[in-house]
Amino acid sequence: MRPTLASVLLLAAAAAYAQAGEHVVSQKGKAFSTQKMAVKVGDSVKFVNDDPFAHNVFSLSDTKSFDLGSYGQGLAKSVVMDKPGLVDVECAVHPDMKMVIEVRK
């Protein structure tokens, strides 16, 4: 039996979904767990707060602009990196917290 177009598209979508990676960056001691990381387009980055106080992770970059809002210990939020380029990540509460994510094609 020949596969239908719909089933081929579904399989392709499932394969693409399976390939998307998830990266974790924690915030601890008023610092990001890494200063620099590389991810692929379609990957997500999960920002976990491991400090006993709130952080507010955001980026104003053209590549990916986002604001995760303020959230406390043990909580996490994810961002999907959908375009190639550099993403400067900061914390609105702690100006010294900075990291760069390179999103590769």
Contact 69, 56 (CB under 8 A): yes
Q: Which is nearer to Cu ion, 40 or 77 (CB)?
A: 77
Buried-exposed string 66-91: b where 16+ CB fall within 10 A, e elsewhere: bebeebeeeeeeebebeeeeebebbb
Q: Which of 25, 39, 47, 55 binds Cu ion (CB under 5 A)?
A: 55
The tokens describing 2, both together, are: 């020949």
Q: Which of 48, 68, 91, 101 binds Cu ion (CB under 5 A)?
A: 91
Alpha helices in the chain (DSSP H): 5-19
Is 76 among the residues that bind Cu ion (CB under 5 A)? no
Span interacting with Cu ion, options 6-14, 16-24, 54-62, 65-73, rule CB under 5 A: 54-62
- Smallest CA-to-CA distance from 70 within 48, 92, 85, 89 is with 92
Q: How far is the CB of 26 from Cu ion (least distance, A)?
A: 12
Is 89 among the residues that bind Cu ion (CB under 5 A)? no
Count residues binding Cu ion (CB under 5 A): 5
**What residues line the site for Cu ion (CB under 5 A)?**
55, 91, 93-94, 97
